[in-house]
Structure 1
Amino acid sequence: MLKRDLLRNKTISAALLVFISLSALLASSGANMIVELSHSLGALFQKSGVPHFVQMHAGDADLERIDRWADNNGLVRRHQTAEMIRIEDGNLALGEGNGPGSGGVMDHYFVRQNRSFDLLLNLDSQVVQVNRGEVAVPIYYKQRDALEIGDTVRIAAPGFAMELRIADFVRDVQMNPSIIHSKRFVVHDDDFALLSGSLGEREYLLEFQLHDPGKLGAFRTAFEASNLPKLGPAVDHTLFRTLNALTDGLLAAVIVLVGLLICAIAIFCLRFTILAAIEEDYREIGVMKAIGIGASDIRKLYLLKYAVTAAVAAAVGYAASLLVNPLFTGNILLYIGTAPKGLGLRLIPVAAAALIFTIVVFFCLLTLRRFNRISAAEAIRSGTVGEALPAGDKLSLRGSRALSVPVFLGIKDVVSRFKMYRLLLLVFIASSFILLVPVNFFHTVQSPGFNHYLGIERSDLRIDLQYADSAADDYRRILDRLRGDGDVERHAPVLVGSYKTMNNAGVPENMTVEIGDFSLFPLDYLQGSAPARSDEIALSYLNAKEMDKKLGDPVRLLVDGETKVLNVSGIYQDVTNGGRTAKAALTDAPETVLRYEIVVDLKPGANVAEKRNLYAQTMHPAKVTDLEGYMAQTFGGTIEQLKLVATVAAAVAVLVSALITALFLKMAVAKDAGQIAIMRSIGFSVRHVRIQYLTRALLVLAVGIAAGAVISNTAGESLAGFAMSFMGAARIKFAVDPLQAYVLYPLLLLAVVTATALVSVASIRKTSLTGINAA
């Protein structure tokens, strides 16, 4: 029976095999990515000795006081203070033939290898060790600048020059991702001492490992209540894990989601196939029941062929996943590394493919329960299931004037037998969703408006000045320069500082607050608006969530030695600084200035690129970037991963649409063979009959694309917002490219479905008038 069915329905069997194989492939690949990411990240954390809590500090630090406090805190297992030398972008040249950087957003820190924990690893996940005259460079620059071992890193400033040979590349458990704007270079102790005495600003990482990481909250409270240095952001190991896993985790989630959608399509397709087979064999089923064969035994006969098809497809899908896994896990292997996996972890992708097989077989069993409702006498008597038209069908050919007869009959058939066309509609909706969501998210991340999710204002130029002894003087100098520049239309200075605030437990802790006029370059707020008065404050999404604050709630800040109550005026999205920031219109200077920011808009006609290069040269040591450059450096890797996902999803959606159209129309033509013969006998040409079937497919496609676009821009946005909420952006609004989303991609699906439909209905030519007897 299995052999006969496979030979009789080669196209149907092949389509089912492809659908289930694709689903198993993507499920196995997604599961493998998740396993690889989780296991390798765990190994990276273990080998490097990830700190549980890190406080960055710019400025002088009393190391002995830090040691005494840590030694007296019973929660601390071990601690260290890591010194870093910050080298300006304009003083650093990476690679052969490259000049000093300009307009970069990254902070370059030269460090020694740590002795205790927070170890910096190489590409073999071994502790980096360099000799004098050598440097280990972050992986970010290897990927961005195509650096190789043996290339040169040059550090130059007035009266100082140093040339180092790249000996290795660094995996940094704290600063690996591009979204983190700090990068650590490892040099020999002697070279570090030379840099420390000659060039750069000194900063520190106060790092702590706890006896019990579960008591991180209690430790954070104790640390915030201390008088230890805190001139910078504080982060913990949970944030390190989130940021390291974010890009590849999103990719894995999208792959698994697409795989499950294709599995759903395969199940719909399988259901239709089973029902068509039941109708085709209806009389034979009645005979079998009449001679005493039980319904369960008949179900087993039919289940066998679909179970074998599903098993073969799942095995093919898993085998194919082994070939494509390197394509998906390349970024993981580069940034995080790989770790030996035991048999249990290796079996998880196999289990994912087996799960697809189990789901398919389970839904086969549900569909095959229909055998219980088949009457032997009725099946032998009628030989067909029968499909009556709805009683309320009011479409009549006489009432149609605008449409040709074949087109009208095609539309009437879809309306009258809509239950039969539900499968095709669901597939086209799913295909549109699979196609549009990754593409829309890709365009959103690339769009200029994505800056709103970063908590930064939309502007032509952005000037960042890190804290240093001369930062205040440099800041005033830059502002004077901007006021005297005739090409500048407007600019808004912002001081980023640290204030004390009272948390829910009544314990003071630090909060990063931006001080300035936020009306000139407004953000899009989730709720409320920017602070306009000195008694208002706006909170980032994660800050508001952790502090349990809503619009109008009070926030207590310690300002100039006194407690000041500010009311929450708005909540905005922000993924910088761990997603925990605030904005206020205070007139008082912050307790500690972390950095200065100035956003600039140029007058119409001014050349942004030329002005950026000029400012980068004349406003040293400030970093000058345009918005496009800022986004490219921050999300360049993520954008490339999303581009890969969008390409794969588009290919899968088009392939699925083509296969399901071919399968559906082939079965529909076979099912309607008698009706086609009748139409041919009363004068319908082959062309007219084909137009009917083509109309059916294209009508369902048009509805499916429209519904898919709506669902993509609602449920798709919600999915993207859920994924980004862990970073601090909870509500994503897709920046849809209308030409691509509503014209090019629908036309692509339309072209593929039309071509497939034309090929599929070619068999109608073979239908002869003898089919009337079958009708």
Structure 2
Amino acid sequence: MFLKIVKNDFIRNKIVTMTVFVFITMAVILAASAINNIANLIQGMSDLQESAVPSDITVMHAGEYDQAEIDQFTDQYSDHIAMQETMFLQNIDGSNIHFGQNQTMAGTIQDISFVVQNKEFDFILDLDNEKLDVKEGKVAVPIYFMEQHDLKIGDTITVKSGGYEKEFAISDYARDFEMNSSLTSSKRFVINQNDYDEMLELQGGELEYLIEFKLNENGDSAAVQTAYIEAGLPANGPIIGGKIFTMFNAMSDMAVAIVIIFISILLIVIASLCIRLTFLATIDEDIREIGVMKAMGISKKDIKKVYLNKYRVISVAAGIIGYLLSFAAVNLLNGNMRLYISSDLSGGLKYVLSLIAPLLVYFMIVMYCQRILKSIDKISAVEALRSDIMERGKNRKYSFPLLKNKFLSTNIYMGMRDVWKRFKLYRLLFVIFIVCTFIVILPLNIYNTMNSPEFSTYMGIGKHDMRIDLRRTDSITEDFIKLQEELKNDSDIEKFAAYITSSYQVKNAEGSWDYINIEIGDYSVFPLKYLEGRAPEGEGEISLSFANAAIDGLNKKVGDEVTVRAGDEEQTLSVTGIYQDITNGGKTAKAHTSLGVNEEAVLWYIVSMDMAQGVDIREKMDYYQNAYDSAQVNDIKEYTGQTLGNIIEQMSLIVIGGIVIAVIIAVLITAQFLRMLLSKDMSQIAIMRSMGLTSKNIQHQYMAGTMMVLILGIIVGVLASNYLGEFLVSMAMSSMGAAKIELINVAWQTWLLCPLVLIVVVGFTISVCCKVTAEDDLSVVLRS
């Protein structure tokens, strides 16, 4: 019997049932896709790590070194260290790598190195996660550059550096566990040993070393790093732990998964509100039937089961379909993962974990339905048979009389008056419009923030027009001095500031020594926004990045002291400020020039500048790129775009998806709400029509009321995106080194374009829904 009642209810309420079904299905698809994506990421990262065997500690060094000392250190700490290998890198400037029609890789923010495959660990892989074996005359190009310059296997690149010139045919994509991500500032091209020896002999590139350690299962990474530093072994570059590479590899896909899970949670909320809306309409229509069933002696449990079974069936069906469709939907999300992490994502883990989504959604919907159905317990058989049962307890006082309306048209006034008098009913629609706006605006604001020049403040650099990075060459110091002199005499340059970053030793919270990258320069020219305190302005002052100041870093606050060592000289510096920085693992620092440059461990020279008004930035960039061959010249937007890379591309897909989902929600919910509202108001509409009001007059009343709710929902939704959205994004980004994100709000998008789309879509839906009702037979309605 119950199945027959459920079947008849499906037939009677096709539109409502399909609306709820669509939302539950969409929620399951998104939730299962996100979980599927996370499962793929776990499996892919595991496979990549197993094949690549990445190092646990990587020391970057340029200059002389003694391998015998490193071997002796490895033997001394053999209880921690399983293997040690030193990779030789020949650094080639991007302007010396030619491809296509006279194109070069000049302008890239990445340090480009040519290497030979390692023998013991830290292998560079092909797209099948097999160890690369590059033949003579061939080269394996990092995925980052294959994508950025649209290179294909079979294309050629030519290296021209000093007296060296050679053409290489691209044989493979290079998947590099340690340097895959755009957030790492180096990329490795793999060539054959013979080609490498020829390049080395002709001094094609500048030598640099990666001194790498693979630890035993119980090896202590911190203890080995401390011992390495205290032994005074070569390390004029940063020392990087393996966990940072894992985080960088997973970051973009994990960020996408988190956003999708958040949207799916909002969809579950909407599905729940939709069910509540349906129950209000259904119970209102079936109130007499409920009274009859109670009078016949049918128990409250059995009556509730009639309504509950319907949503159990919907949840099960939507869960199964959503679960199956999620495997097709996830292919739209994991293209980046298939390229950078693993081409084969066919493991069984995702099938098991993805089941969490439909099961969770089912239990949430059923529990919510049971909660709503408690209202049936309060209805007695006698009350249910009275025609005014659903009006009990309502305030009958007449407010906003029509006679007092002096400014608005009658129809608009009556529509807005209806919203005020029945706000409890309209608040469901209000909440849903807020959620729709939130789904559109938050991803859009995140995308705009990442694309904005102002995002540089989260990368530890002040806002400016252009920057020049000088690479390590024999003439780097002379070039740095010459560049500053030229900028002083260049009338096109409004202002500039020079910065030098060196590696220093710093005493950590445990009292042992770590390495830290410290930049010195004048921070008043391009000021940063500080979370706390200010920039270092005087002798003995330093500011720390958020990640460096955190408990798992140096554990310092503004006013604390930091001990820094360069060579044999120690200095105690006072912390004046804490800033945000997502680069270099989030652990950087800035000090007053009185600290001095650690000449033995200079990492890079940077000059930031602003152009005078009317100057063509692109033309000026080309000039300085040609004048300084070893320099890397970028405008700040290009710099942030290259650093964030595919994270921005992934976010653009979420923006499009959010708009599509919001439009579908707005249409379906508005249609369902109006169907419920018009059903409740059927007799009232009939009376208005019998008094001479046209269908257009009635339509305008509902249009005015619903549009007022929509506009209020849009306003609250935009404000929630700006303030609550900032809080949520800041929470997610704090692990990367940015604890307070200020989202960029493009006014014409958030206050004009997106609201206009929602207004047009909702307005069209209202006009269609109200038109159908206006054609009902008056005599039938009035008799009922």
Considering the TM-score relative to the shorter chain, is it more than 0.5? yes
Which has the higher mean CA deviation after the structures are superposed, 392-401 or 614-623? 392-401
Query: Equivalent residue of 2:139, what SS?
Result: strand
Separation in structure 2 between the aligned mates of residue 366 and residue 389 of structure 1, nearest angstrom? 22
| Residue of 462, 465, 469 corresponding to 2:467 | 462
Partner of 1:39 in structure 2? 43
Partner of 1:666 in structure 2? 675
Partner of 1:190 in structure 2? 194
| Residue of 576, 579, 589 corresponding to 2:597 | 589
The residue type equivalent to 1:18 in the other structure is V
| Residue of 571, 576, 593 corresponding to 1:564 | 571
Deviation of the 1:633 alpha carbon: 1.9
Which residues of 2 match residues 472-487 of structure 1 at below 5 A?
472-487=477-492
Work out the percentage of aligned pairs sharing the same amino acid: 38
- Per-residue CA deviations over 1:605-641 (Å, capped at 9, x if unaligned) read 2221111111111112121111122123222322111
Which residues of 2 match residues 128-527 of structure 1 at below 5 A?
128-197=132-201, 198-212=203-217, 215-339=220-344, 341-382=346-387, 384-386=389-391, 389-390=394-395, 394-527=399-532
- Per-residue CA deviations over 1:51-74 (Å, capped at 9, x if unaligned) read 112111122221111111122112
Partner of 2:637 in structure 1? 628
Deviation of the 1:766 alpha carbon: 2.5
Deviation of the 1:200 alpha carbon: 1.0
Deviation of the 1:214 alpha carbon: 7.2
Partner of 2:120 in structure 1? 116
Separation in structure 2 between the aligned mates of residue 201 and residue 158 of structure 1, nearest angstrom? 11
Which has the higher mean CA deviation after the structures are superposed, 697-706 or 54-63? 54-63
Separation in structure 2 between the aligned mates of residue 220 and residue 159 of structure 1, nearest angstrom? 39
Deviation of the 1:497 alpha carbon: 0.7
Separation in structure 2 between the aligned mates of residue 361 and residue 721 of structure 1, nearest angstrom? 34
Matched, 1:684 2:689: no
Separation in structure 2 between the aligned mates of residue 651 and residue 58 of structure 1, nearest angstrom? 51
Separation in structure 2 between the aligned mates of residue 498 and residue 431 of structure 1, nearest angstrom? 49
Which has the higher mean CA deviation after the structures are superposed, 96-105 or 580-589? 96-105
Deviation of the 1:323 alpha carbon: 2.3
Deviation of the 1:339 alpha carbon: 4.3
Which has the higher mean CA deviation after the structures are superposed, 449-458 or 356-365? 356-365
Deviation of the 1:286 alpha carbon: 1.4
Q: Does the aligned pair in 2 maintain the 1:233–1:577 contact within 8 Å?
A: no
- Per-residue CA deviations over 1:4-61 (Å, capped at 9, x if unaligned) read 2222222111211211111111111111111111210111011110211211112222
The residue type equivalent to 2:307 in the other structure is Y
Separation in structure 2 between the aligned mates of residue 344 and residue 32 of structure 1, nearest angstrom? 9
The residue type equivalent to 2:39 in the other structure is V
Tell me how large the CA RMSD over aligned residues is: 1.8
| Residue of 545, 553, 556 corresponding to 1:549 | 556
Deviation of the 1:346 alpha carbon: 1.6
Separation in structure 1 between the aligned mates of residue 666 and residue 590 of structure 2, nearest angstrom? 49
Q: Does the aligned pair in 1 maintain the 2:39–2:349 contact within 8 Å?
A: no
- Per-residue CA deviations over 1:396-431 (Å, capped at 9, x if unaligned) read 222221122222221122111111112101100110
Deviation of the 1:213 alpha carbon: 5.9
Separation in structure 2 between the aligned mates of residue 664 and residue 728 of structure 1, nearest angstrom? 44
Partner of 1:71 in structure 2? 75
- Per-residue CA deviations over 1:250-309 (Å, capped at 9, x if unaligned) read 111111111111111011000111222112111111111122211111111111112112
TM-score, normalization: structure 1?
Answer: 0.97
Partner of 2:17 in structure 1? 13
Structure 2: runs of 5+ lacking an equivalent: none
Q: Does the aligned pair in 2 maintain the 1:443–1:736 contact within 8 Å?
A: yes
The residue type equivalent to 1:53 in the other structure is I
Query: Equivalent residue of 1:699, what SS?
Result: helix
Structure 1: runs of 5+ lacking an equivalent: none
Partner of 2:626 in structure 1? 617
Partner of 1:23 in structure 2? 27
Deviation of the 1:723 alpha carbon: 2.1
Partner of 2:723 in structure 1? 714
Separation in structure 1 between the aligned mates of residue 249 and residue 409 of structure 2, nearest angstrom? 60
Separation in structure 2 between the aligned mates of residue 343 and residue 39 of structure 1, nearest angstrom? 9
Q: Does the aligned pair in 2 maintain the 1:283–1:384 contact within 8 Å?
A: no
TM-score, normalization: structure 2?
Answer: 0.96
The residue type equivalent to 2:209 in the other structure is Y
Mark the CA change 1:342 to 1:615 in structure 2 (over 3 Å): closer, same or farther: closer
Mark the CA change 1:739 to 1:15 in structure 2 (over 3 Å): closer, same or farther: same
Separation in structure 1 between the aligned mates of residue 349 and residue 36 of structure 2, nearest angstrom? 12
Q: Does the aligned pair in 2 maintain the 1:675–1:772 contact within 8 Å?
A: no
| Residue of 107, 111, 133 corresponding to 1:107 | 111
Separation in structure 2 between the aligned mates of residue 331 and residue 560 of structure 1, nearest angstrom? 44
Query: Equivalent residue of 2:17, what SS?
Result: helix
Partner of 1:603 in structure 2? 612
Separation in structure 2 between the aligned mates of residue 338 and residue 371 of structure 1, nearest angstrom? 54
| Paired residue total | 774
The residue type equivalent to 1:577 in the other structure is N
The residue type equivalent to 2:376 in the other structure is F
The residue type equivalent to 1:320 in the other structure is L
Which has the higher mean CA deviation after the structures are superposed, 429-438 or 46-55? 46-55
Deviation of the 1:388 alpha carbon: 5.0
Q: Does the aligned pair in 1 maintain the 2:546–2:578 contact within 8 Å?
A: yes
Q: Does the aligned pair in 2 maintain the 1:677–1:771 contact within 8 Å?
A: no
Partner of 1:770 in structure 2? 779
Q: Does the aligned pair in 2 maintain the 1:492–1:599 contact within 8 Å?
A: yes
The residue type equivalent to 1:431 in the other structure is C
Query: Equivalent residue of 2:220, what SS?
Result: helix
Which has the higher mean CA deviation after the structures are superposed, 217-226 or 645-654? 217-226
Q: Does the aligned pair in 1 maintain the 2:80–2:219 contact within 8 Å?
A: no
Q: Does the aligned pair in 1 maintain the 2:466–2:608 contact within 8 Å?
A: yes
Separation in structure 1 between the aligned mates of residue 66 and residue 673 of structure 2, nearest angstrom? 75
Separation in structure 2 between the aligned mates of residue 358 and residue 223 of structure 1, nearest angstrom? 54
Separation in structure 2 between the aligned mates of residue 158 and residue 509 of structure 1, nearest angstrom? 37
Separation in structure 1 between the aligned mates of residue 346 and residue 219 of structure 2, nearest angstrom? 27
Q: Does the aligned pair in 2 maintain the 1:102–1:613 contact within 8 Å?
A: no
